[in-house]
Amino acid sequence: MHIDHIGIAVKDLESAIKTYETILNSPCSKRELVSSEKVETAFFNTGESKVELLGATEPDSVIAKYVEKKGEGLHHVAFEVKDIHAELDRLRGEGFTILNEQPKQGADNKLVAFIHPKDNNGVLVELCQTQP
């Protein structure tokens, strides 16, 4: 396992992209619309890991609700796994609350599933697996 990316919820994706291009002294490497989640993502390569900016495309999206409730900032930490189904089974067996019955399609050609923050010291954890 390694950290695949850090997800950051933002109010204004365009403005946040400019900010992170300046901070990282590097252009945004990829943008992607994830219609099922009503979110647009912007990725920045930072070595083995990435920074993912998450901007809501609809006011009723999970990200819009998150930003409204908690403000902009760290949304999740994502760990790349080789077999997401096996990891979810293992973690369920250890008593963790999995927020998705089955992994779903996420950004960046990944299957994703989330572990409830109440089980992770307040941090939303994403497991992700690159699809072939």
For position 101, what pLDDT does the model report?
A: 86
For position 91, what pLDDT does the model report?
A: 97
CATH of domain 2-130: 3.10.180.10
Strands of the sheet containing 125-130, edge to edge, are 30-34, 39-46, 49-56, 2-10, 73-80, 125-130, 110-115, 104-105
Read off φ and ψ for residue 92, nearest 5 degrees: -60, -45
pLDDT in tens, 86-111: 999 999 999 999 999 899 999 999 99
DSSP string, 42-62: EEEEETTEEEEEEEESSTTSH
The full set of domain ranges for the chain reads 2-130
The whole-number average pLDDT for the span 70-77 is 97
